[in-house]
Amino acid sequence: MGLKDTVDKAIDNVKDATNEAVHNGTADAEQAKRDVAGDALTPEERLDSMANQAKNRAQATIDSAKQKVRNNT
C-alpha cells in the first residue's frame, strides 16, 4: 500500500468516525427529546422519534462497520 492509499484510508476513516459520532448524537438527542417531553408527545410523534433514533443508530453502525472492513483489508 502506497502513501496515497494510506492517506486516503485515513481520510475515509476520519469521515466515517465523524459521521458515526453525528448519527449517535442525533439518536441520543431523540431519546432525550422523548425523556423530556414524556406524555406531551403524541403516540405518532413518539413513534417518529423512535424510528429516527433507530435509523440513526443503524447509520452509525454502518459507518463503524465500514471503518472496520477498511482497516482489515
The tens digit of pLDDT for each residue in 18-57 reads: 999 999 999 999 999 999 999 999 999 999 999 999 999 9
Place of cell 492517506: 7
DSSP H helices in the chain:
3-37, 43-71
Residue-level pLDDT at 73: 77
Which structural domain range is residue 26 located in?
3-71
Q: Crossing angle of helices 43-71/3-37, nearest 10°?
A: 160
Q: Nearest CA to 25 among 57, 49, 1?
A: 57
How many separate domains does the chain show? Answer: 1
Residue-level pLDDT at 47: 97
